[in-house]
Chain A
């Protein structure tokens, strides 16, 4: 069993706080934080119900914040790419295929997640988009497709119990709706 440094859990706790905030707002409780040089630079949580946009996952929320912020500060695309390459993501649930692809396009350094995502997971469960793809033409490889390190199982039970309470809270009368 690998032992992780204390800060891994500290950052995951912050991601769980974000997930809790989602839960309080009737959103699927998944949250994340982006960390650069040991500092949280962005956080995000699911906002799919509020926006009626099922792509507004925690990761996307945080990424949009960062891109906007950096753009406002006048950073060029190359500079933004450099910043992302120093970022570590802590997210309570394994990034889905969409988010894993996005993280690969951005070229982040590393990701830690809580529980696995058996149905949609893009970091090993369904597809493995975090690994570098050697089948890619060299011109694509030359840019930034080098993959990112991904570690799961960090405070997974906390993440799962949040998801569980979400689905229980959505069913106040206890009526089974299964087909």
Chain B
């Protein structure tokens, strides 16, 4: 069937989703702190004492001392004392040791705002320093893509995402989530899967396309016409009516599904991880497992796995692999991808109900985790979703 509509210019984008929400430079979150003007001769002693009794634990980017030139070029030093714990800001909110310092050095305290998070751009930093000086370290990420994609890389990302959306829209009728694990160095698909919450076929590997297409058509015929209309007219954000079956979006609603073959936790990413693990066992059956201690050391040290010798043996779990998901994963799936050491996650649609990569939670920003992946949202023109359904309806091939 020919698409008779005029084709809009295609807007494809890859958006990095950083570890913390991004704010307009002048709208960054702040915290209130006690500060005081000090005599320059006391600066060293006071800084040393304060670093002991009130270290700037979660504010490593904030400088303890502010240097200002007041009239006549005379320098004036101010010092951060501590965070304000209570909300009245009275001196009684100060820890005892700080109060002692205030007394013995006769400090007159005032309240200042400092920025809560380290700056991620020069613009943010400039704004931060207007409140109180901070330090700024331009990102030195070692996961490729954060600093941009080449044209060739972008095209590869878009084509894998299209493939993923094809899976998500063709497997069992309505839209589900789909997961495709890719080795970016060879552009090879390692494993792919759709949600198996409703129909857990437990296939040994991959997704049976033929079988699912017929299901797809049946479901399509049976499905509500209004929903189809809104699907065709709506933008991706208005896809609500058809996300009912996306496991990561509605993880609590599995019990309301029809019976048959099903499993409440077989979300696409979980199944894809299972397939890739099975593949690894099949390809490298005798491979000696990493000693638990070595693995633990890798976990504990928290460094990224690039360039370490164990990697040359065979990929450890999904180290170095990318995963493409039609929907932003839920907390279960996002954490599963941490466990399996996926390097980069690309998803298409945000998941405002249960998404764990920026929407509800932000796992990539949880510093305590032992592995950190880079997260990207891939924006494809809505025609990708739309054509999928139109084609399926018209030609009978999902």
Contacts and interface: CB of A to CB of B under 8 A. Distances in A.
Interface in B279-323: 280-281, 289, 291-294, 296-297, 301, 303, 317
Interface size band for A? 35 or more
Nearest to A74: B259
Interface string A152-175: 000000000000001101110000
A107 B252 contact: yes
Interface stretch (A1-9, A11-19, A33-41, A75-83): A75-83
B207 interface: no
A179 B301 contact: yes
Interface in B100-134: none
A64 B339 CA distance: 18
A26 interface: yes
A77 B252 contact: no
B263 interface: yes
Contacts of A81: 254-255, 264
Interface in B252-287: 252-259, 262-265, 270, 273-274, 277, 280-281
A69 interface: no
A96 to B, nearest CB: 6
B390 interface: no
A143 B249 CA distance: 13
Given A55-B270, A77-B264, A144 B252 contact: yes
B292 A26 contact: yes
Contacts of A96: 335, 339
Interface stretch (B60-68, B84-92, B149-157, B365-373): B365-373
B292 A102 contact: no
Interface in A86-105: 96-102, 104-105
Contacts of B294: 170, 177
A134 interface: no
B194 interface: no
B231 to A, nearest CB: 19
Contact of B332 (A52, A64, A101): A101
Contact of B296 (A26, A64, A144, A170): A170
Given A52-B317, A97-B331, A143-B256, A120 B336 contact: no
B363 A97 contact: yes
Contacts of B356: 101
Contacts of B331: 97-98, 100-101, 122, 127, 129
B251 interface: yes
A126 B340 CA distance: 19
A101 B257 contact: no
Contacts of A80: 255, 264
Contacts of A54: 273, 317, 336, 339-341
A105 B251 contact: yes
Contacts of A143: 250, 252-253, 255-256
B273 A179 contact: no
A23 to B, nearest CB: 10
B163 interface: no
A179 B303 CA distance: 10
Nearest to A100: B331
Contacts of A179: 297, 301, 303
Contact of B330 (A101, A107, A119, A144): A101
A140 interface: yes
A115 interface: no
A49 B292 contact: yes
Given A51-B277, A179-B297, A170 B369 contact: no
Nearest to B256: A143
A167 B292 contact: yes
Contacts of A137: 353
Contact of B335 (A48, A63, A122, A178): A122
A73 interface: no
B291 A55 contact: no
A105 B289 contact: no
A167 B253 contact: no
Nearest to B265: A102
A173 to B, nearest CB: 10
B257 A77 contact: yes
B293 A127 contact: no
A19 B259 CA distance: 34
Interface string B328-357: 001111111011110000000000010010
Interface in A51-79: 51-55, 60, 63-64, 67, 71, 76-78
Contacts of B386: none
Nearest to A145: B252
A145 B294 CA distance: 39
13 contacts: A77-B255, A80-B264, A81-B255, A96-B335, A98-B336, A101-B331, A106-B265, A140-B250, A143-B250, A166-B292, A169-B292, A170-B291, A178-B297
Given A99-B332, A125-B368, 12 more contacts: A54-B341, A67-B264, A78-B255, A81-B255, A97-B331, A97-B363, A98-B332, A101-B332, A106-B264, A122-B331, A129-B331, A179-B303
The 10 closest A-B pairs by CB, nearest first: A170-B293, A81-B255, A98-B335, A170-B292, A53-B277, A101-B332, A54-B339, A101-B331, A97-B335, A171-B293
